[in-house]
Amino acid sequence: MAFSFRGYTINKVGVIGSGQIGPDIALHFLKALYPYGVQVVVVDVAEEALQKGKGKLFKKVDKGVESGAFKPDRAEGMKSHITFTSDYSQLKGADLVVEAATEDLPLKRRIFRQVEELVAPTTILTSNSSHLEPEKIFAELLHKGRSLCTHYFFPAERNPAIEIIPGKDTAADVAEFTMRFYEAIGKFPVKVGSRYGYAVDPVFEGLLLACVQCVDAGLGDSKQVDTVASKCLGLRVGPFTAHNLTGGNPITAHGLSEMNEWLNKWFRVPERLRQMVDTKTDWEVPGRGETVEVPPDKEKLIAEELQGAYFAIVSDMLDSKIITTSDFDLLISVALDMKPPFTFMNSLGVGKALELVEAFHKKYPDMPVSRTLKEQAASGKPWDVLDVLFEKRGDIGFITIRRPKALNALNSKVFKELNAACDIIESDPEIKAAVVTGFGNKAFVAGADIKEMAGFTEPTQAEKFCHVVQHASTRLEKLGKPAVAAVNGLMFGGGCELAMCCTARVAPKGMKMLAGQPEVNLGLIPGMGGTQRLPRLVGFEKAAEMIRTANPISSAAALQHGLINEEVDGDVVQRAFELARELASGKTTVKLIEKGPLPDAPDSLPDIDIGHHSRAIDKLAVQAMLEGAKMTLEKGLLLEAYLFGQCWTTEDNRIGLKTFVEQGARAKAPFVNR
């Protein structure tokens, strides 16, 4: 067994370095790839580090068993697929090697020279550096095209953020493979241009410097500044605490001194930090649960200075064009768990953000005021922070819905951005077909955003929303060009309905739970065409069962009933691209959803056990299916919109939505059948 993806097979992964992060990286590979029988080898020259790393990894696996994350046999299987060794020759046969040794350029170069002699010329080589550019690290490799940097974040086995940094020599297909591969194994990869420190570390390290400057300027002591920083930047812990927890002072000191050379002269090692490094001392920070008093005038000054520094650092990054606003927001909010910078600036007003940056620049002239920030403020518009990414890839318009923290749930913003992407696809004659996918490996789309819908109070609000949503989703159906849904994970509710607006759907093979219409759990009926398209696609019996019971179905069942066109081994996006081209060229045809009234539409549905679900909502769902089938699809959709609005006249609608918002997806709503 092996993990095969986009034509590349991974049997063995090598991790070099059994220090702070290597074992965590290895554990992530083990969790994701053990089911495919992939072996993970951790190599280090120090026996003690190997023992420590192994102990740490095994302890985390055992904890996973205690918490119920893994069954004991799986944990044993994982342990049997990892080796800790000082013998570099065990890297032979590795298909992917991640180096996670010390941040030391000559050492990294030495390691890769050695590794290149052991592995095949096609083995992908990555360095988990936090700062160094790939061009420097891989300068001495014979085969540079297969090399790039990958920057993980603490804790690497759980933090999904990862910066992917291709260098100028990295082959485009290797960069693309690495992005897709990490997404497939559960990370949120973000591509960042090659520049010292990449995107995240100038923020992490720069904010420590900004905090030290506040202390030096007498605005507060380290406890006070740490407290205000965490409050005004939305950080779980302040920069000083974060540095204590990660032992990060020496790396930050080194990073800041290099940034002085490579980024701008504001970055520097402040004396206070130098002393902490020399004396190996921790910052004085608030204890757990300790309340630190900060006078309001001081708090305001500290907050404005830190926000000015934050906005200056991130907008300067836009000038260097190494990352986009949307990518940066995702990366920062996940990697550092702090307020995403561009959404944050939008909430304050970009003009206000510019004022803060200018004030910071006045005090610290070495930090420039970003040209892009000035232009954005002058435009009077907020930053674009997109949840729907659009890319023209040759003749294909590629749409990715990216809200991973909400499992790509569809809200008004997503619909607006989907519409904009459809505008481009429709109007560009070079685009022959579209591919739509969800970001991550968990969900295509987990439905309409329930939290947004729970805010409706009137049936007319819901009906109006329904029309907007139906318009945006039917755009895909009416593009005049084939659209293929690359269903990369769960498609629930509005997700299943969005996929049905596409010409064809492909999904991963062997998913126990792929598709469902769980709206009745929430005191709702489907509102984006589910009551109309699903019976037309899979027949009344299966559609009624799915819609009335909310029971999800597997990928095999979805294939059997015609909800998806193919189960795919490997990358669904890649297959969706192929299928989109086949459909556009006429090489392949698929069954399309009937747009007219169904000639064999039944007058009633068989009795079915709807469990705890609301009889009142069930009545509306049945009416939508039966009456809609006798109409054209267009009229059926209008009927569905009306009946969707009628859900808001029931008590069960309030009960269902409230239960989800207050108790989460798994709670059973106590419906009263009214």
Minimum distance, C-beta of residue 387 to ligand DAK, in the bound complex (Å): 13
Angstrom distance (rounded) from CA 672 to CA 163: 49
Minimum distance, C-beta of residue 408 to ligand DAK, in the bound complex (Å): 9
Q: Which two tokens stand for residue 132?
A: 């160094």
Q: String of b and e for 50-73 (b: at least 16 CB within 10 Å)?
A: bebbbeebbebbeebeeeeebeee
DSSP 77-111: HHHHTEEEES-GGGGTT-SEEEE---S-HHHHHHH
In one letter, which amino acid is 89?
Answer: S
In one letter, which amino acid is 47?
Answer: E
Minimum distance, C-beta of residue 467 to ligand DAK, in the bound complex (Å): 7
- Catalytic member of 157, 417, 497, 545: 497
Are 103 and 132 in contact by the 8 Å Cβ rule? The answer is yes
User: 99 catalytic, yes or no?
Assistant: no
User: 426 catalytic, yes or no?
Assistant: no
Nearer to ligand DAK, 297 or 662 (CB): 662
Entry field: residues in the chain: 674
Residue 472: closest CA among 409, 413, 517: 413
Nearer to ligand DAK, 362 or 478 (CB): 478
Nearer to ligand DAK, 255 or 529 (CB): 529
Minimum distance, C-beta of residue 521 to ligand DAK, in the bound complex (Å): 6
Q: Under the rule (CB under 6 A), what is the footprint of ligand DAK? A: 406-407, 409, 446-451, 465-466, 469-470, 490, 492-494, 518-519, 521-522, 524, 527-528, 644, 665
Instruction: Pick left, alpha or beta for residue 550 (phi over 0 → left; psi -120 to 50 → alpha; otherwise beta).
Output: left
Nearer to ligand DAK, 301 or 665 (CB): 665
Are 436 and 401 in contact by the 8 Å Cβ rule? The answer is yes
Nearer to ligand DAK, 580 or 647 (CB): 647
Which DSSP letter does residue 231 get? H
Nearer to ligand DAK, 450 or 629 (CB): 450
Nearer to ligand DAK, 167 or 527 (CB): 527
- Catalytic member of 133, 157, 463, 519: 519
Nearer to ligand DAK, 320 or 663 (CB): 663
Angstrom distance (rounded) from CA 374 to CA 280: 41
Give the distance from CA 381 to its chain's centroid: 26
Q: Which two tokens stand for residue 310?
A: 């934050």
Q: Is 665 exposed, middle or buried (0-12, 13-18, 19+ CB in 10 A)?
A: middle
Residue 633: closest CA among 462, 469, 467, 474: 474
Minimum distance, C-beta of residue 535 to ligand DAK, in the bound complex (Å): 17
User: Can you name the residues that pair with 126 across neighbouring β-strands?
Assistant: 98, 148
Longest dimension (CA), the chain: 83
Cα separations in angstroms, 76 against 29, 31, 90, 536, 592: 15, 12, 21, 47, 48
Nearer to ligand DAK, 177 or 671 (CB): 671
Q: Is 368 exposed, middle or buried (0-12, 13-18, 19+ CB in 10 A)?
A: middle
Minimum distance, C-beta of residue 481 to ligand DAK, in the bound complex (Å): 23
Minimum distance, C-beta of residue 486 to ligand DAK, in the bound complex (Å): 18
Angstrom distance (rounded) from CA 235 to CA 338: 5
Residue nearest to ligand DAK (CB): 493
Minimum distance, C-beta of residue 524 to ligand DAK, in the bound complex (Å): 6
- Which helix or strand (DSSP H or E) is residue 390 part of? strand 388-393
Minimum distance, C-beta of residue 3 to ligand DAK, in the bound complex (Å): 22
Q: Which two tokens stand for residue 30?
A: 């083990």
SS3 409: coil
Write out the catalytic residue numbers.
497, 519
